[in-house]
Amino acid sequence: EVQLVESGGDLVQPGGSLRLSCAASGFTFSNYWMQWVRQAPGKGLAWVSRIKSDGSTTSYADSVRGRFTISRDNAKNTLYLQMNSLRVEDTAVYYCVRHYYNAPDYWGQGTLVTVSS
């Protein structure tokens, strides 16, 4: 059974940093592109970032480029999102998502990031 378990969400002040992790199991992690998608409270879904299966290629939404860094450790079956210079508008549930035929096929339960003073 595919499982994606996020962790690391917290309350942080504007300008602060946070690192999210996603532990993957039930599939060969190193074979799949992975991504992060977020959902602000009461709002819709927004794509954040994605990374190639071997970690060699990364992409970001304009709203986070230069502040967020996606990475992965295939030996540990773990995906990461380093979030710097956080803004109030980054407040959201962050989902770890597997990438399949350019579609998001499996989702974690999400981790809440709250940016507030």
Partner 1 sequence: DVVMTQTPLSSPVTLGQPASISCRSSQSLVHSDGNTYLSWLQQRPGQPPRLLIYKISNRFSGVPDTFSGSGAGTDFTLKISRVEAEDVGVYYCMQGTQFPPTFGQGTRVEIK
Sites of contact with partner 1 (CB under 8 A): 37, 44-47, 59, 61-62, 95, 100-110
Nearest approach in angstroms of CB 37 to partner 1 is 8
Nearer to partner 1, 14 or 100 (CB): 100
Token pair for residue 18? Answer: 């946070």
* Shortest separation between residue 74's beta carbon and partner 1, angstroms: 23
Tally the residues of the chain: 117
* Whole-angstrom Cα Rg for the chain: 13
Pairing of strands 18-25, 3-7: antiparallel
What are the C-alpha distances in Å from 21 to residues 2, 8, 71, 72, 117? Answer: 16, 6, 10, 9, 24
- Which two tokens mark 15? 């300008």
Residue nearer to partner 1 on the CB measure, 71 or 107: 107
By beta-carbon proximity to partner 1, the closer residue of 32 and 106 is: 106
Q: Nearer Cβ to partner 1, position 5 or 82?
A: 5
Give the shortest CB-79-to-partner 1 separation in angstroms.
15
